[in-house]
């Protein structure tokens, strides 16, 4: 994937509910339309981050497993 994210959040080592709680704050600081790449190690993020996006109206652009980590790319909904 050639597109690079505007922001990065390393949630490796954090366990539920910390990744999503901290993600909420990160997204709040972003402008509408900006993207955030999240790297996590907690398997529950595979369920929680898509639900977070769906509930708040953000676009989940990418969700994949890479080298034992879970990588997500989120586009914040327009302001």
Q: What is the maximum alpha-carbon separation in the chain? A: 34
Sorted by where each begins, the domain ranges of the chain are: 7-75
Q: Which runs of consecutive H residues, i.e. helices, occur in the chain?
A: 18-29, 45-56
Q: Helix, strand, coil shares of the chain as percentages rounded to 5? A: 30, 35, 35
Indicate the pTM of the whole model.
0.93
Residue 16 falls in the annotated catalytic set: yes
| Confidence at residue 77, expressed as pLDDT on a 0 to 100 scale | 98
Write the pLDDT tens digit of every residue in 3-25: 789 999 999 999 999 999 999 99
Are 74 and 60 in contact by the 8 Å Cβ rule? The answer is yes
CATH architecture, domain defined by 7-75: 2-Layer Sandwich (3.30)
Q: Which of 6, 7, 16, 62 is catalytic?
A: 16
Element (H, E) at 61: strand 59-66
């Amino acid at each position: 994937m050639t597109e690079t994210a505007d922001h990065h959040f390393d949630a490796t080592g954090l366990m539920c509910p910390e990744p999503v709680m901290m993600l909420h704050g990160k997204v709040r600081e972003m402008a509408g339309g900006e993207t955030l790449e999240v790297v996590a190690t907690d398997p529950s993020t595979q369920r929680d981050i898509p639900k977070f996006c769906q509930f708040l109206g953000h676009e989940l652009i990418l969700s994949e497993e890479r080298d034992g980590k879970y990588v997500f790319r989120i586009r914040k909904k327009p302001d």
